[in-house]
Structure 1
Amino acid sequence: MIAVLLSLVVLFFCIWLLIRWRKVKSYWLERGVPHYPPHPILGSLTFLQRENPSIWMRRVYNDFKAPYVGMWQFWRPALVVNSPEIARRILVKDADVFRNRFLSSGKSDPIGALNVFTVNDPLWSKLRRRLTLVFTAAKLRSLNGITIAKTKDLVTRLEIESNKPELIDLRKICTDFTTDVIGESAFGITSNSLADGDSIMRRVTREFQAFNLHRGLSWSSIFFFPELVDIFRFSFFPKDTMKLLRKIFRTVVEQRGGYDKDIKDARDLLDALLKIKKEADMENEEMTEDILLAQAAVFLLGGFDTSGAALTWTMYELAWNPQYQERLYEDILNLKRKIGNRGFDSTVLTEIGYLDCVIKETLRIYPPMGWLDRIATKDYKIDDKLTIPAGTAVYVNGVSMQMDPEYFPNPEVFNPDRFLPENERTITPYTFMPFGEGPRNCIGMRFAFQTLRQALAEVLLKYEIKVIPDTPKPSEIEIEKNGMFYMPSGKMSVHFVKRDNEFVS
Structure 2
Amino acid sequence: MSAAIAPKDVVFYSFLKPWLGDGLLLSAGDKWSSHRRMLTPAFHFNILKPYVKIFNDSINVMHAKWKRLVSEGSTRLDMFEHISLMTLDSLQKCVFSFDSNCQEKPSEYIAAILELSALVAKRHQQIFVHTDFLYYLTPDGKRFRRACRLVHNFTDAVIQERRRTLPDEGVDDFLKAKAKAKTLDFIDILLLTKDQDGKGLSDEDIRAEADTFMFAGHDTTASGLSWVLYNLAKHPEYQERCRQEVQELLRDREPKEIEWDDLAQLPFLTMCIKESLRLHPPVTVVSRCCTQDVVLPDGRVIPKGVICLISIFGTHHNPTVWTDPEVYNPFRFDPENIKDRPSLAFIPFSAGPRNCIGQTFALTEMKVALALTLLRFRVLPDKEEPRRKPELILRAEGGLWLRVEPLSAGPQ
Q: Percent identity?
A: 23
Q: Provide Cα deviations, 1:18-50, integer angstroms capped at 9, x if missing partner.
A: xxxxxxxxxxxxxxxxxxxxxxxxxxxxxxxxx
Of 296, 306, 322, the residue aligned with 1:392 is 306
- Structure 1 residues 145, 341: closer, same or farther in 2, change over 3 A? closer
Q: Counterpart in 1 of 2:379?
A: 465
Of 163, 168, 176, the residue aligned with 2:77 is 168
Structure 1 residue 152: Cα displacement? 1.1
Q: Provide Cα deviations, 1:455-504, integer angstroms capped at 9, x if missing partner.
A: 11111111111223x221xxxx22336x3322222132222222246456
Q: Counterpart in 1 of 2:244?
A: 330
Question: Would the aligned equivalents of 1:162 and 1:168 in 2 still touch at CA under 8 Å?
Answer: no
- Structural RMSD (CA): 3.0
Of 305, 308, 311, the residue aligned with 2:222 is 308
Q: Counterpart in 2 of 1:4?
A: none
Q: Counterpart in 1 of 2:205?
A: 291
- Structure 1 residues 368, 200: closer, same or farther in 2, change over 3 A? same
Question: Would the aligned equivalents of 1:317 and 1:414 in 2 still touch at CA under 8 Å?
Answer: yes
Question: Would the aligned equivalents of 1:374 and 1:393 in 2 still touch at CA under 8 Å?
Answer: yes
Structure 1 residue 188: Cα displacement? 2.4
Question: Would the aligned equivalents of 2:38 and 2:195 in 1 still touch at CA under 8 Å?
Answer: no
Q: Counterpart in 2 of 1:240?
A: 146
- Structure 1 residues 450, 491: closer, same or farther in 2, change over 3 A? same
Q: Secondary structure at the match of 1:300?
A: helix
- Aligned partner letter, 2:211: A
Are 1:180 and 2:108 matched, yes or no? no
Structure 1 residue 221: Cα displacement? 10
Question: Would the aligned equivalents of 1:259 and 1:274 in 2 still touch at CA under 8 Å?
Answer: no
Q: Secondary structure at the match of 1:443?
A: coil
Are 1:126 and 2:34 matched, yes or no? yes
Whole-Å Cα distance in 2 between the matches of residues 428 and 493 of structure 1?
34
- Structure 1 residues 347, 200: closer, same or farther in 2, change over 3 A? farther
Of 44, 57, 60, the residue aligned with 1:149 is 57
Are 1:135 and 2:43 matched, yes or no? yes
Question: Would the aligned equivalents of 2:52 and 2:368 in 1 still touch at CA under 8 Å?
Answer: no
Structure 1 residue 408: Cα displacement? 1.8
Question: Would the aligned equivalents of 2:52 and 2:258 in 1 still touch at CA under 8 Å?
Answer: no
Question: Would the aligned equivalents of 2:349 and 2:359 in 1 still touch at CA under 8 Å?
Answer: yes
Are 1:415 and 2:321 matched, yes or no? no
- Aligned partner letter, 2:356: C
Q: Counterpart in 2 of 1:101?
A: 8
With structure 2 as the length reference, what TM-score do the two structures score?
Answer: 0.86
Question: Would the aligned equivalents of 1:106 and 1:229 in 2 still touch at CA under 8 Å?
Answer: no
Of 158, 162, 165, the residue aligned with 1:252 is 158
- Structure 1 residues 495, 425: closer, same or farther in 2, change over 3 A? same
Whole-Å Cα distance in 1 between the matches of residues 122 and 274 of structure 2?
34
- Structure 1 residues 201, 163: closer, same or farther in 2, change over 3 A? farther
Structure 1 residue 205: Cα displacement? 2.8
Structure 1 residue 398: Cα displacement? 2.3
Are 1:404 and 2:318 matched, yes or no? yes
User: What are the ranges of 5 or more consecutive residues in structure 1 without an aligned counterpart?
Assistant: 1-93
Q: Secondary structure at the match of 1:395?
A: strand
Q: Counterpart in 1 of 2:187?
A: 270
Aligned residue-pair number: 395
Whole-Å Cα distance in 2 between the matches of residues 374 and 284 of structure 1?
30
Whole-Å Cα distance in 1 between the matches of residues 317 and 349 of structure 2?
16
- Structure 1 residues 457, 374: closer, same or farther in 2, change over 3 A? same
With structure 1 as the length reference, what TM-score do the two structures score?
Answer: 0.71
Structure 1 residue 120: Cα displacement? 0.5
Question: Would the aligned equivalents of 1:221 and 1:229 in 2 still touch at CA under 8 Å?
Answer: no
Structure 1 residue 250: Cα displacement? 2.6
Please show how residues 222-233 of structure 1 align to structure 2 within 5 Å: 228=131
Q: Counterpart in 2 of 1:487?
A: 395
Please show how residues 5-154 of structure 1 align to structure 2 within 5 Å: 94-95=1-2, 98-103=5-10, 109=17, 111-154=19-62
Structure 1 residue 298: Cα displacement? 1.3
Deviates more, 1:444-453 or 1:349-358: 349-358
- Aligned partner letter, 1:98: I
Q: Counterpart in 1 of 2:338?
A: 424
- Aligned partner letter, 1:269: F
Question: Would the aligned equivalents of 1:368 and 1:434 in 2 still touch at CA under 8 Å?
Answer: yes
Whole-Å Cα distance in 1 between the matches of residues 8 and 162 of structure 2?
35
Q: Provide Cα deviations, 1:215-240, integer angstroms capped at 9, x if missing partner.
A: 3368x799xx9xx55896799x9332
Whole-Å Cα distance in 1 between the matches of residues 48 and 404 of structure 2?
30
Q: Provide Cα deviations, 1:106-146, integer angstroms capped at 9, x if missing partner.
A: 69945534010111111000110011110111111122221
Whole-Å Cα distance in 2 between the matches of residues 190 and 383 of structure 1?
51
Please show how residues 313-392 of structure 1 align to structure 2 within 5 Å: 313-337=227-251, 339=253, 343-383=257-297, 385-392=299-306
Question: Would the aligned equivalents of 2:113 and 2:151 in 1 still touch at CA under 8 Å?
Answer: no
Please show how residues 190-209 of structure 1 align to structure 2 within 5 Å: 190-196=99-105, 198-209=106-117
- Structure possessing the higher radius of gyration over alpha carbons: 1
- Aligned partner letter, 1:471: E
Q: Secondary structure at the match of 1:364?
A: helix
Of 347, 352, 355, the residue aligned with 1:433 is 347
Structure 1 residue 437: Cα displacement? 1.2
Structure 1 residue 269: Cα displacement? 0.8
User: What are the ranges of 5 or more consecutive residues in structure 2 without an aligned counterpart?
Assistant: none
Structure 1 residue 359: Cα displacement? 1.0
Whole-Å Cα distance in 1 between the matches of residues 341 and 100 of structure 2?
40
- Aligned partner letter, 2:68: I
Deviates more, 1:178-187 or 1:323-332: 178-187
Structure 1 residue 311: Cα displacement? 1.0
